[in-house]
Amino acid sequence: MRFDDRLATVLARPVDRPADRVAQWRQLLDLLAQQAGDGEAEATSEAFDRLRTLRAEVPLAVRQEIARALAGRTIAAPLVAFLAADVPVVSGAILQQVRLEPAGWLSILPRLSPTGRGFLRHRRDLGPVIEAALASFGRTDMQIASDVGEGDGLPPPIDPDDGSTGKVRSVDQRLTLVHDTTDSDAATAASEDAPTPPVQALEHGVGEGQIRAIITRIARFRRDRDSGARGADTPLSGDAASFRFETGTGGVICWVDGVPRGPLIGETIAAPASGRYGVDAQAPGAFRRRAPFRDARLVVAGDSTASGEWRIAGVPVFAPADGRFRGYRCTARRPRAHERVVPANPAADAYSAGLDPDSLRQLVHELRTPLNAIGGFAEMIRRQMRGPASIAYRDRAQSIAEQAGRLLAAVDDLDVAARLETRRLDLQRASVDLGAMLGSICADYAPALFRRGALLECGVAPGLAPAIGDPAALRRMIARLIACCTALADERETIRVTLAASSSGLLELAVGHPRRLAGQAEQALLDPGYGPEGEAPDAPLLGLGFSLHLVRRLATAAGGTMIIEADRFVLRLPTAADPSRVSTGG
């Protein structure tokens, strides 16, 4: 007999920090979604109670993102009802896409708010039974109460048999209800050419006159938007106003024309963004159906001409010979004035931007355990700790241990990058003998380089002041930079590393370029799509561009800089004599 205690385990975890509460929100919803209605009743009830307690403390963007993600899965009706009880932007994300059996819809319709049922009325895939059930709520959903409040919650569930009219708690909900009943009137009003008279302030409880005033305002807004804002196509950042790109069969962008490739190569249109950067749900929905799409939203990170907000359109491409799907061909343009999204709460938006790195950190945690187990068991075989093993078997175990170590290093780099992105990398302030650290790092990399017929030279000037910063961050930064260069060194090539004091009083660490990187511009070296590695066995697993970006971010966090010169990489780092330059995080 097996007992599923995952809900109890998650519920028992402490939630002292905001990040812990967000993580518990995600985990509980995911576990409830996996149950599909057959979970243990007591733990399920406790999980829903905890979710109700956490709801006000989880950022709105997180709640909307998870609702949108769960809408594409088969989930139980009680979970749909819980998500639909949130604010309209969250309830709409789930109700506009989720699919339930007719019995499930009928069980939750009375528990939905008028706004929630308004979202369902716009769907055309629910069937005649559900449409008839929605129509039975007309007398309660189509009225506007005279005592409109400003509470932050939704109205209580309305029983269609008790004659209650309910309360509409916000102007957004009121407009949604009016829109349900007056789409045709609004369209007619929007097409009229006569000038619109001034709209007076709305008075509660004025019946038809209030509805007409709202319709008039909707019509005027649409007319002004269509006539006056279509020409506002100015870019949000940089000079680029449009570009083209293509994806592979998996939806990953593999070709870009018109803007720098670096920020875009590797992005996907097959999955909606979980943080600030990426595409909205429109493009992934079209991708799953292999259908065209237009005016989907894309946000690109960075500060290049490609960064900022875009509107993208794409068409699927199929092979003429056999009809196989080949990917998408897409165009991108800057959004017009009325299409731009301005966050209502910049602080909350900045917080939500860290959600994607948080998810990455959770993935990193899940990867570390099996990699440690593989590497540890391979090391036990190599050392014959579990009994005698042949030489070939021990050699194979050593190779596995080394590969597991490289994978672990790459996973750690991803974790550090995620912490830098969310400004959660805790950096210490300590005095570090950078010369001794550099000698130790070079001693680690020199043997592997020597086996390939190349050399690593290390020169440290005497009498250098100690650096100040986080020892682990400094070691990672220097080691990754040296690893990038030594991995690409050819036979009979020498990589020179020097450490000296600069004229400005900073410590200057320089690593010479290998011949493979000679003449390459900085933009090309930082491009994640650029691959000079060839068959180099020790080439960075995450690519040269990622490694260099990580080194630069770490240098900035340490209060220094990384400069890419024509023939060398240069790190300039603060010394103990100038501690004011040291940062406190990414």
DSSP annotation string for 451-483: HTT-EEEEEE-TTPPPEEE-HHHHHHHHHHHHH
Helices (H), 194-344: 208-228, 282-289
pLDDT at 356: 53
Mean pLDDT taken over the chain: 75
Please give the torsion angle defined by the CA atoms of residues 370, 373, 376 and 380, in that order, rounded to the nearest 10 degrees. Answer: -130
pLDDT at 217: 62
- As a whole number, mean pLDDT of residues 360-380 equals 78
Of 69-83, 356-370, 477-491, the range with the lowest mean pLDDT is: 356-370
- As a whole number, mean pLDDT of residues 523-535 equals 60
- As a whole number, mean pLDDT of residues 11-35 equals 86
The rounded distance, in Å, linking the Cα atoms of 151 and 144 is 16
The rounded distance, in Å, linking the Cα atoms of 392 and 190 is 80
Considering only residues 509 and 139, tell me which one the structure prediction assigns the higher pLDDT: 509
- As a whole number, mean pLDDT of residues 201-227 equals 52
- As a whole number, mean pLDDT of residues 514-524 equals 80
Residue 483 pLDDT exceeds 50: yes
Residue 19 pLDDT exceeds 80: yes
pLDDT at 183: 40
Q: Is the distance from CB of 504 to CB of 574 less than 8 angstroms?
A: no
Residue 149 pLDDT exceeds 70: no
| Confidence band for 312, pLDDT divided at 50, 70 and 90 | very high
| Confidence band for 292, pLDDT divided at 50, 70 and 90 | very high
Of 187-191, 524-528, 542-546, 549-553, the range with the lowest mean pLDDT is: 187-191
Encode pLDDT of 531-571 as tens digits.
554 444 556 667 787 888 888 888 888 888 888 888 889 99
Residue 148 pLDDT exceeds 60: no
Residue 205 pLDDT exceeds 50: no
Residue 219 pLDDT exceeds 80: no
Of 262-266, 356-360, 438-442, the range with the lowest mean pLDDT is: 356-360
Buried b (16+ CB within 10 A) or exposed e, 53-84: ebbeebbbbbbbbbbbbbbeeebbbbbbbbbb
Q: Which amino acid is at 535?
A: E
What 3-state DSSP class applies to 436? helix
pLDDT at 576: 73
The rounded distance, in Å, linking the Cα atoms of 314 and 269 is 10
- Tallying the residues shown for the chain, one arrives at 586
pLDDT at 538: 57
Strands 467-469 and 430-432 turn out to be antiparallel
Residue 247 pLDDT exceeds 90: yes
Q: What percent of the chain has pLDDT over 70?
A: 71
Q: In 3D, which of 433, 568, 447 has the Cα closest to residue 514?
A: 568
pLDDT at 127: 87
Considering only residues 33 and 214, tell me which one the structure prediction assigns the higher pLDDT: 33
Global pTM value: 0.39
For 242-350, which CATH class? Answer: alpha beta
What secondary structure, in 3-state letters, does 409-421 show? HHHHHHHHHHHHH
pLDDT at 532: 53
Which residues have C-beta within 8 Å of that of residue 303, sequence separation ≥ 6? 237
Of 124-128, 180-184, 242-246, the range with the lowest mean pLDDT is: 180-184
Buried b (16+ CB within 10 A) or exposed e, 458-489: bebeeebbbbbbbbebbbbbbbbbbbbbbbbb
| Confidence band for 140, pLDDT divided at 50, 70 and 90 | low
What 3-state DSSP class applies to 425? coil
pLDDT at 354: 39
Nearest-Å Rg of the Cα atoms of the chain is 29
Strands 494-501 and 253-257 turn out to be unpaired
Residue 311 pLDDT exceeds 90: yes
Q: In 3D, which of 133, 123, 132 has the Cα closest to residue 94?
A: 123
| Confidence band for 499, pLDDT divided at 50, 70 and 90 | very high
The rounded distance, in Å, linking the Cα atoms of 238 and 340 is 16
The rounded distance, in Å, linking the Cα atoms of 15 and 6 is 16
| Helices H / strands E in the chain, number of each | 21, 13
pLDDT at 232: 39
- As a whole number, mean pLDDT of residues 149-172 equals 37
The CATH superfamily assigned to 430-581 is Histidine kinase-like ATPase, C-terminal domain (3.30.565.10)
Residue 486 pLDDT exceeds 90: no
Considering only residues 214 and 229, tell me which one the structure prediction assigns the higher pLDDT: 214
Residue 254 pLDDT exceeds 60: yes
| Confidence band for 243, pLDDT divided at 50, 70 and 90 | very high
Residue 389 pLDDT exceeds 80: yes
- As a whole number, mean pLDDT of residues 90-117 equals 88
Residue 1 pLDDT exceeds 60: no
pLDDT at 403: 82
Kindly state the tokens that stand for 505. 């009083």
Kindly state the tokens that stand for 75. 């989930």
pLDDT at 469: 86
